[in-house]
Amino acid sequence: MTEQQARLERLARVVVEPLHRYLLRRTHADLAEDVLAETLLVLWRRIDDVPGLGPGDDDVQPDTGPPPDPADVLPWCYGVARGCLANARRAEGRRLRLLERLIRRQEPPAVIAPTDHTDHTDLYAALDTLTALDREVVQLWAWEELTPRQIAEVTGLTPNAVSIRLHRAKKRLAARLGRKDAERPGHKRVEGRSSQ
């Protein structure tokens, strides 16, 4: 096994599952699988660019080498997956436009329902009121549990810009969901702070 293969195997063991979840939250399962494969191909080609992966060793096998820290490698890998998903969506859009021209009718794209049976209609409606970038920042924070610094690495924003966008987006979501001034039971507000 080559050094590059060993390094990719160690990286894949850490990032494949989180990347797959990330993609499933943003698109349908078939496209998520294709984009994950494309993401792994990009990671293969750019294995030396992955921050936090560290230098490889020719003699290290994937089972004996230390796994990378997910907090170091995942934000960069999310950024790669995000770019691959954007490319796939553009390609799919071009294909659909060509198909529409060929059959001379337009059909709306299918809406993929969440696999969770809990009703999150209000949440998804509130998320749809945000800009695409604000929605992505909130989803990276809430679903992928990334810090503002890590979100900045994924989106190309500064950590400060991410923090500001996240704060404002959370306020808009809370207001949209009717939780703007809701007090928690058992807590009294004194000069803008909880007394407990």
pLDDT tens-digit series, residues 67-78:
889 999 999 999
Domain ranges of the chain: 1-112, 113-180
Which CATH code, of 1.10.3210, 1.10.10, 1.10.1740, 3.40.50, is assigned to 1-112? Answer: 1.10.1740
CATH number 1.10.10.10 given to 113-180: yes
Task: Determine the Cα–Cα distance for residues 74 and 16; give it in Å rounded to an integer.
Answer: 10
> Is residue 65 a contact partner of residue 10, using CB atoms and an 8 Å limit?
yes
Choice between 103 and 167, residue whose per-residue pLDDT is larger: 167
Average pLDDT over residues 101-125: 62
**CA-to-CA dists, residue 97 to 67, 139, 164, angstroms:** 44, 29, 37
Residue 57 has pLDDT above 90, yes or no: no
Structure confidence at residue 80 as a pLDDT band (50, 70, 90): very high
Residue 34 has pLDDT above 70, yes or no: yes
Q: Which two tokens stand for residue 102?
A: 């060929």
Choice between 36 and 184, residue whose per-residue pLDDT is larger: 36
Average pLDDT over residues 13-35: 94
Q: How many CB atoms lie within 10 A of CB 151?
A: 26
